[in-house]
Structure 1
């Protein structure tokens, strides 16, 4: 209960128990979070679904998962955090799992991104070229280049490598996003 890192036990993505550090990180008390769907801590329902889809395969294969993602506090403020998980039921990983959460706000301040910027960033993190991203999103490759340039300017970097370094130097398999094929 008094560990310095946020800890939470979930059953089918429902919060069963959490410690003080976890609840404080999100602006709640532990009692207020018990029996809540984990979706209350995500910026959107779409991101809640995307993270589930992204992590289940790795949990089944290795029984561990980690990423760095944007989460939402009770007051609606968004922030980056590092998430690590372990399942007690590897055959059905989300039935019962334990997760640790570390607030990265001090080292990685949140910069607001548009939905399209997040989509493009997600595809870049998957190693796609501007032309491949354009095909995925049904856009002109020049439009993708404009968004790419805006991202570089926003993060004050010269290239895509610098962009991912600004995001913490993590590789694409650990960047959780809410990409979709919607225009």
Structure 2
């Protein structure tokens, strides 16, 4: 395939699926667009079509991920409610990942739109730093800013002990809503 040749339709979607399945980690829309020599917007449409066909693809803050290639599911999962200012978001996420926890998503209850969920999928300080850097560089708002800091996370870890320790640390830091 030449660098300048666009990959069209189903061939491109097959390529995207193959790339995501083999990656084992998120790939940005921009990287996928470069590989297929199309715009990022075309990739967004392709991913939407693939999801509609039942492919287990999620959009995370680091890019698109194919879920079937992930490490085996953690043993423990929990939903927690938190509240804090935007300035403390990095501290909250770092605290969680330091206990071996993956922060899968953030959810809020919006007065007009109802429940809004965004995938985060951070498991390390490096991923937290990338997430925060992206928020700052795009001047995006945290979802929790729409609800005066209140939000819910789905968290997972290899054991209930990891989750218990992380939740206790959140409580001590004043993040947990009980």
Task: Output the TM-score relative to the length of structure 1.
Answer: 0.25
**Which of 1 and 2 has greater Rg?**
2
The structure, 1 or 2, with the larger RCO (C-alpha pairs under 8 Å, 6+ apart) is 2
Q: In proportion to residue count, which structure has more helix?
A: 2
